Amino acid sequence: MCGIAGIFNFEPFSRVGDNFINRFSSSLHNRGPDDNGFFIDHNKGICFVHTRLSVIDLSSAGHQPMSSRDGKVKIVYNGEIYNYPELRRQLQSLGRDFLSNSDTEVIIQGYQEWGIEKLLHSLRGMFALAIFDSSSGRDKLILARDRFGIKPLYYYLNNNLILFSSTVDSIKNNGLVELEHERASRSTLLIFGHIPEPYTILKDVLALEAGSYLTISKEGPRLTKYYDLGKAVSESERLRDAAMVKKSLQKALEEAANIHLLSDVPLGIFLSGGIDSSALVAFSSLNRRGAISTVSLVFDEKEYSEGYYQKLVADKFNTIHNEYKITENGFYDEMDNIFKAMDQPSIDGINTFFVSLAAKNSGLKVVLSGAGADEVFCGYDYFGKVDTLKFLSRLSEVWHKPFSLFEGLENKFRKLSYLGERSGLSSYLSLRAILNFKEIIDILGVSRESLRNIIGRYSQDLPFGMSPNINWLSSMEINMYLKNQLLKDMDVMSMYHSIETRVPYLDHKLIEFVMSVDPGLKVDKLLPKPLLANLVKGLLPQELISRKKQGFVFPMNEWLKSQKGRDLFFDSARAVGIKNAFSLRLWNRFRKNNQLWAAIWAIIVIHRKAA
């Protein structure tokens, strides 16, 4: 795992030099503390910067930026390609030889042999990369990102100049261009809990969208979508044979777990005690020689601590188990570091911050995470309530105005007011939104029209009236919450501690298979995640499989209700400019358990990251 950055300008430049390179290298140091390098050609107006976290081929042969044999193609790359040995063999059969055992060289030679489109379709893994190609006499820069956005890539584009980097902060802090905050970022955070791509907290800095590549040449910029999950899965060929599905799923999961174990450095697994991470331990144990290391967090608050189930799994598979206790004081002591790690405003990522710190203290460099399983295997509670949501959504199509009355309620049903907005995101936001329009208007003093414009940004391809169903909700979770919040926060929080986090449940072949399974096999009112649960029967303790889903949740509800949390919230609310009456109303709802902690934390995040 690494940090990448660069600049491309069609005109020769003189402004780019040591200061530019050093600022990027310094900003991205945590992402790659083992090595750093740069390439610069003032005449061509190109500069690449790279910081390396060595995981595969620890030798200097894996140094980046890397150049092709003829010197006409340069690359900086962040990620892991799990099928690179297979691709290497394919390229060798075509007459290509290699100087290293790195996946970076496979990418650069694959690009020269196949071109960008075929190369990207052949890659199995997580990646963000930049390729500078001068081979045709027409210089061009290509930026590309993996199918589900596991690895980040951001860019600033203005006329002939493009800046790109693994983080928004490094672009902002470089000082080469003047950048302004995006005015809508505060409202966006209070709607979604994050800022969905392609937008960022900075007005002119965009995220390269997942499954896309951007070509910059004298013909102008061209954004190409090379992967779409909806198009990759056939709606007409649903798999309904439960026995066949179970057999094929076991093969797919074992394969996904196995390829994610590829590493030349110490590797472990985040073990929360739930079925997702426990299944990873089980399947990884089938393929890995020697004991597996596991890392877990526990709390003084017993209702959040899953130490019992963690120990069940660790003992069953004889793992080298590392348990760390996180306390309320420990959380507040790390507050500044949490915000330093947080590249963009988000209500999530605290759990990854601490478990990554624990992994680092355990001597690990790579960890596997169960992230993505709930979205892919339909693990959240509301997957079982999709019929109710479908009924309410259909009702709102013909009778939408009464739903606005839900805005003033003092209970959890107030988010149903989104069903009155007649947007392609209405149904989804009635489940996932942090606050409704009225609450945001009261808090920030913005207009209702500005909030409608925000959700309009993200619902252009989601026509109003789309009937919610299991696969629709799974796709929405993958493309909204998972991509824009979980993965984004997992990346920045783990890389802050120089830890590479891998997500086997997001192997694209596994996801495409699960999405092709009939929805009737994915949800069971008596058994959470039945596809996965039925698969691990006999592998995991039955009491773990059948227990109610808990999730990897911190005691934020309790910690924020303390005096320290109360002071932090009201200080933040005053700094943001929220009227005391509205902040007091929000706090009282929270105190009475009529408001989730996420809204309280969001105000603190706005103060620290979006002020």
CA 328/CA 465 separation, integer angstroms: 45
Q: Residue 10, exposed/middle/buried by CB under 10 A (0-12, 13-18, 19+)?
A: middle
Alpha-carbon distance values, 404 to 93, 418, 445 (Å)? 64, 8, 19
Nearest to 270 by CA among 348, 361, 372, 356: 356
Q: Does the annotation count 47 as an active-site position?
A: no
Tokens representing 242? 């439960």
Q: Which residues contact 347 (CB under 8 A, 6 or more apart)?
A: 189, 193, 194, 434, 485, 598, 601, 602, 605
Beta bridge partners of 125: 81
DSSP state of 156: E
Residue 421 φ then ψ, to 5°: -90, -10
311 near 321, Cβ under 8 Å?
yes
Residue 154 φ then ψ, to 5°: -125, 155
590 near 598, Cβ under 8 Å?
no
Q: Looking at 2, 73, 262, 598, which residue is catalytic?
A: 2
CA 344/CA 181 separation, integer angstroms: 11
Tokens representing 309? 């189930």
Secondary element (H or E) of residue 185? helix 185-192
Nearest to 297 by CA among 271, 279, 278: 271
Secondary element (H or E) of residue 323? strand 320-325
> Could you tell me where the beta strands, DSSP code E, fall in 498-567?
500-502
> Could you tell me where the beta strands, DSSP code E, fall in 112-219?
125-133, 140-145, 154-158, 161-165, 205-207, 212-217
Radius of gyration for the chain, computed over Cα atoms and rounded to the nearest angstrom:
24
Nearest to 127 by CA among 500, 505, 512, 513: 500
Residue 360 φ then ψ, to 5°: -60, -45
Q: How far apart are the first and last CA of the chain?
A: 31
Q: Which residues are catalytic?
A: 2
